[in-house]
Amino acid sequence: MMTVKINTLTETEIRSIGDAFADHAYAYGEFGMSYLARDRQAVSDFICAYVRVAIKERILYSTSERHEAFIAFKKNGHNMSLSSAADLLGSAYKCADLPHIFTACKGFLHYGTGYGAILSKFMIPYIYVGMVDVTKAYQGQGYMRKLLEIALEEGRKHAISG
């Protein structure tokens, strides 16, 4: 399988990722990014900011040069730079209204209680997947499976069991 590390994208390509993510039809009971953003446009804007940070942090990959689908992942121990964290927090603030900011803050307070924190505590290596997105033109064609295979292959390369 071909994997392409993304070093740059046009603003149009970045927007297509944000829009595809924002327009995803969630199953009953799923809420996606609605805990953070006030509306569909805000979700797209936040994802676009996340994609820019993922490019800057060198953690964004695609299924091929055609950019059918994207995945952002990192190995444990890769900490985001302060400027990237500031960019992302600033974007989150712009995308949320007061009730959503309170809800997001509650989520951030639980940040250290997830699987990554537990695995890190026991010094077990892992891959953290921060985003998966299949652009609209390629949805329903098996690209989500290809994205997950990219992360699994990276884990195998580094002897991380899945």
Range(s) of the domain holding residue 153: 4-157
| Tens digits of residue pLDDT in 106-145 | 655 655 556 666 666 777 778 888 889 998 899 999 999 9
User: Residue 74: beta bridge partners?
Assistant: 128
Is residue 151 within 8 Å of residue 71, measured between CB atoms?
Answer: yes
Prediction pTM value: 0.80
Main-chain phi, psi angles of 38, to 5 degrees: -80, -25
| Tens digits of residue pLDDT in 40-83 | 888 889 899 999 999 999 999 999 999 999 999 988 777 888 88
**First-to-last CA distance in the chain?**
19
- Number of structural domains, the chain? 1
DSSP state of 33: G
Q: Does residue 68 sit within a domain?
A: yes
Look up residue 124 and give its two tokens: 């077990």
Q: Does residue 162 sit within a domain?
A: no
Q: Does residue 12 sit within a domain?
A: yes
Interhelix angle 82-95/40-56, nearest 10 degrees: 170
